[in-house]
Each structure stands twice: as structure tokens, then as C-alpha cells.
Amino acid sequence: MLRLLFLLVFNLLFFQPVAILPAQTGPGVTARNGMVVSAHPDASRAGVEILRKGGNAVDAAVAVQFALAVTFPVAGNIGGGGFMVYRQKDGKVSTLDYREKAPAAASATMYQDSAGNVVPGLSMNGHLAAGVPGSVDGMAEAHRKFGRLPWKDLVQPAIDLARHGVVLTQKEASGLNNNKENFTRYNTHLPYLVREQTWQKGDTLRHPALAATLERIRDRGREGFYAGETADMIVREMKTGNGIISHEDLKNYHSVWREPVTGQYRDYRVISMPPPSSGGVALLQLLTIIKPFDLSKSGWNTATTVHVMAEAERRVYADRAKHLGDPDFHRVPLAGLLSPDYLMSRMGSIDTGRATPSAAVQAGEFALRESDQTTHFSIVDRAGNAVSITTTLNGGYGAKVVVREAGFLLNNEMDDFSVKPGAPNMYGLVGGAANAIAPGKRMLSSMTPSILEKKGRLYMVVGTPGGSTIITSVFQTILNVVEHGMTMQEAVAAKRFHHQWLPDQILAENDALTPAVSAALEAKGHKIVYTPAIGRVDAILIRKKRKLEGGADPRGDDTAAGY
């Protein structure tokens, strides 16, 4: 009864019929036989060529993962990790966790000084910031279980790109130039990403050492990275820079198949990644909390809609901080977190006329942290198999460390642990004991690769980079389509906003909110901070007659390619 009264008051008093439309209109690239959307045009083309040759979505995903390590070094990788959500054409779903792990020599206080204070930057830059990479093992495992074409055919496109070179875009040239000092400071050698003159748009960047590493992976599969010559190179690099990854750490790394988290939002079944990603749980929580509100009626990015979504996000991120971590080390209360009764109780504390101070919002009780420079890609093949993969080095260019003889960058994923309970990571995310550092443990992530079904049929493949904003960017993109009637391209291009509990503020893209909406939100007690860009969503929508629409985020060089 109270819930019905609450919703009645909301719709009568706070409905705002003002329509705000996203700047970009119209559909994105369309195709019938297959679609790849990724952060770089060369990587998208590599994936489509694999589909043309008869490869399935997983085959194309392997090719794209390795191609991004060459074409998009700020986040594409073989020295990082990620998550894969896979839906087969018959509706069977699988999720693969190839998240990095803490080395065996890691400890809970390794980034604190003798007084227990966090040492600034120690978990973010340099050799000690690196977790044990998972990307190569993940791709090998995905191919072993679901691949169709020979492994060597999937790695070869990346080798060709590394040997022949990649023409830099303006964004890529600027990224290398802006990190020249970091590359020089955190390496014991001058890496090939640095040169005396500045990089310019149109310059060709070649990766000879990385090409040789990829050839070893092509020829020996997983063992071409975790054993033999490449493993020796990694361990030598660790010893040179006082890192702690060992031969045993590399040998013992294995990706893990996990049960996906699933839920229902109106007519849509949502399939996403379980812990150690917080993304799937948080996405399902958000969709459940806002389900009773008529957001299509209140409108896109109106004060009413933004307020309700921000209040939901505030509560979900409080839960994230306390309850989520590596399920192999911490009992994650999934049933409680996703219980409709629990989530309705969280919704019931939302005041539609006033922002709830984050200091007054704690993680719920019931019985019983990531970078702007992650990258995501979505793939659908001719048969209707779909892959959603988010992969990362964490911060831009990871730990800024290039393995000298092997030509690839190491991640700085150790910063995604709670380096000290209550201390924020580089994205302001606060964590607790559930995400404390421990040997062999996977750090908590915000990555949210997801797939939606409508009436039992494949409907959407979606995901994004963006650190702590990943969850809310996926959340908004889904709502842009299913509540606000946008095309896939409009949905990924639309301006975004974000709330993560702490700090207590709405982070909004420039021009995401009109002056009137901003004033209305501030009158409710919200603090608004503006930023140039949030996330880089790459997604695919299945339209009528099985036409595939690729939505490539205009915030980057992202490209949809189909055939």
C-alpha cells in the first residue's frame, strides 16, 4: 500500500513532460550477416573478416582482442584481462572470467607505509601495480570451448598489423604524447612508444617486439605467453623493476567459467557478468529499483528521470562497496542483493523531492573499483551467436610499463583492490574487506558486458569502458533504447550522467543537462560536476527482420563494421 501511494505521489507531483532529445539522430551502421563494434576501425575490420571466412562470434572475438592489443594500446591488451558474456544461437549462455589475479607475493598492506598510510601512486604506476595477466588464457579457453576456425588464423591479423604498423588517429597520437613522461619515468628502458619528436596524426606505429610475442602465441597457444620465452621476459622485467609476478604465478593462472547473473526488466531478459565483476549485479539492481517508475513518461534526462536514476545508483554503489568481491575468497550474498523485496525496500527510501545525502545511505543488510581506458567490443555472427567482451589494462596504458623484450604493456589492476579499507581508488570508488588484497585473488571490477533478450530472442549486445561509470553507462544505454525509443546509435551517442555514492555528486557530461534541469536538480539537493565525456559504449541492436544495427560511440575512434 505504501509503495502504491509513493508511486502515485511521484507521478502526480513530479512528472515533467519536458522532452529533451539527444543530439545525434538516426540509426547506425546496419548489416544482415554479422556485426563487430569495437574501439578501433582496424580491429573491427579484423573481426568482420573472420566472420566472412566462416568464423563464429567467438572466433571474431579472439581476433578483435589481439588486434586491439596492437591498434589500441591505451586499453587493448595481452597484458591485462577481462570478462566475456556469450549467448549461443540456441539461447544457451556462458560467462568467462579472465580477470587478472594478485601475485602469490601480494599482501593486504603492500601499498601502505609503516604507519599504515596509503603510498600515493604505488598501486597505480610501475611494476608493483601489475596483476597476473589473463587475456591470453581467456582467449585460448574461449576458443577451446567454442571456436571454429584454427587458432593461428585468429591471431595472424594482429601479427600483420603489428608488423606493418598502424596509422595513428589524433586521439591515439595525443595519448602517446601525453604519456611520454610516464613511459620514461616508470620503465627501466626507453620503450618504443616514446620518440624524440611528438607523434602526429597519420604517423605509422610499428610493434616489432609485440609481433614476435604474438607469433609465439600463434604457434604455442596459451603456452606461448605463460611459459617459455615470453614468460622469461615477463619475469626478467619484474626483477628489473621490483615487481613480484613470478613464473609460478604465470603457470598457475587460469580463467574461470562462471554462472551468469540474469534478471528481467519489463519484456527483456538481461544476461550479465557475475562477481568478481560488480557490473552485472549492480545493473540488475538498478533496473529492478527503477522498474516501478515510468521513465518513458518523465522523459530523457529530465530532472525527474535523472533524480530517480541517481538515487538508485547511490544505493547500489553503497552495496557494491560492502558486499562485492572475488567469490572464490568472499561469500557474495547474490540472492539477497538481487531479492525484489530487498530492492523495493531500497526504493522505498527514495524521496522524489529531495536528494538523499550519501552519508545517510549505507549498504543494505539482509540475511543469510576501474578506468576510463578499458575497452569493450560487441559481436553478432550470421547464425545469431553473440559475444559481449570488456577488457582492460585498468588505467590508460596500465602501469605505463612495457615488457622490454616482449613489446606489450602491463596492467595496473592491483589498484582495483581496496588497498586500504575505506580509501578510494583512482576512480574514487571505496571498498572494504570483501575486496582486500590476497594472493591469487581477483580484484573487484565494474565491467558490465551484457546481452539482452526480448521474448526469447537476441535483442541487444552492450558494454563500455569507463571505470566506475561503466555500470551506469550500460544502464543508461539500455534505458535509452527500451524506455526512450532511441536507435542503437542514438543511445550510445546520447549524453550521460553518473552517481556512485561517494563522492556525493552527479557527474554529468557537458550539455547532458539543460540549465533548467540542472537548477531543478540542485534545488533537490544534488551537487553536479561536469566532465567532457563518460564511457565509450559499443553495442548492437537486433532490429526487425534480423537486421543488425551497430552503435559505435562518437566519443572515440570506435567503429561499427558489418557485412
Predicted confidence (pLDDT) at residue 282 exceeds the cutoff of 50: yes
- Co-location of 8 and 149 in the same domain: no
The stretch 488-506 carries a mean pLDDT of 95
Q: How far is Cα 286 from Cα 431, in angstroms, rounded to an integer? A: 19
Q: Give the residue numbers spanning the domain of 220.
A: 30-257+378-435
Position 372 scores a pLDDT of 60
Looking at residues 195-217, what average pLDDT do you find? 98
Mean pLDDT of the chain: 92
What values do phi and psi take at 266, rounded to 5?
A: 55, -120
pLDDT band of 172, cuts 50, 70, 90:
very high
Q: Which amino acid, 64?
A: V
Give CA–CA dist 450/473, Å, rounded.
Answer: 12
d(CA 399, CA 415): 10
Domain count, the chain: 2
Question: Based on the domain organization, do 21 and 117 belong to the same domain?
Answer: no
Beta carbons within 8 Å of 166's beta carbon, 6+ residues apart: 42, 70, 71, 204, 205, 206, 207
Q: Does the pLDDT of residue 3 top 70, yes or no?
A: no
Q: How far apart are CA 499 and CA 282, in angstroms?
A: 13
Residue 132 lies in a domain: yes
Q: Distance between CA atoms of 341 and 347, rounded to whole angstroms? A: 10
- Residue 362 reports pLDDT greater than 80: no
DSSP line for 357-394: PGGG-----------TTEEEEEEE-TT--EEEEEEE-S
**% of the chain with per-residue pLDDT over 70:** 92
pLDDT of the residue at 361? 78
556 located within any domain: no
374 catalytic? Reply is yes
End-to-end CA distance of the chain: 53
Joined grid coordinates for residue 209? 617486439
Question: Given a cut of 50, is residue 454 above it in pLDDT?
Answer: yes
**pLDDT tens-digit map of 464-484:** 999 889 999 999 999 999 999
Asked if residue 371 has pLDDT above 80, the reply is no
pLDDT the model gives residue 429 = 53
Question: Do 148 and 253 have their domain in common?
Answer: yes
| Residues 206, 296 within the same domain | no
| 530, containing H or E segment | strand 528-531
pLDDT at 68 over 50: yes
Evaluate whether residue 64 is within a structural domain: yes
For 146, the enclosing helix (H) or strand (E) is: helix 135-146
Domain at 473, CATH number: 1.10.246.130
CA 362 from centroid of its chain's CA atoms: 25
Find the mean pLDDT for residues 450-457: 97
Indicate left, alpha or beta for 266 from its phi (over 0: left) and psi (-120 to 50: alpha): left
Select which of 304, 374, 392, 448 is catalytic: 374
Examine the domain organization and report whether 494 and 364 are in the same domain: yes
20/182: higher pLDDT: 182
Asked if the structure places residue 309 within a domain, the reply is yes
Classify residue 441: in a domain, yes or no. Answer: no
Same domain, 341 and 465: yes
pLDDT, tens digit, 9 for 90 and up, residues 10-27 = 333 333 333 344 557 788
Question: Range with the lowest mean pLDDT among 136-140, 157-161, 316-320, 495-499?
Answer: 316-320
Confirm whether 554 is domain-assigned: no
Strands 528-531 and 506-509: parallel
- Give the closest residue to 313 by CA, choosing from 333, 285, 353: 285
The pLDDT value recorded for residue 205 is: 98
Within a domain: residue 326? yes
CA 29 to chain CA centroid, Å, is: 23
Residue 23: its pLDDT value, please? 54
- Residue 59, classed as helix, strand or coil, is helix
Residue 378 scores a pLDDT above 80: yes
pLDDT tier for residue 368 given thresholds of 50, 70 and 90: very low
Q: Are 532 and 453 within one domain?
A: yes
The 3-state DSSP class for residue 466 equals coil
Residue 452 inside a domain? The answer is yes
367 lies in the same domain as 397: no
Is the same domain home to 416 and 462?
A: no
Tell whether 48 and 153 lie within a shared domain.
Answer: yes
For residue 208, is pLDDT > 50? yes
Residue 444 C-alpha cell reads as 573487484
Q: Which three cell numbers stand for residue 252?
A: 598457475
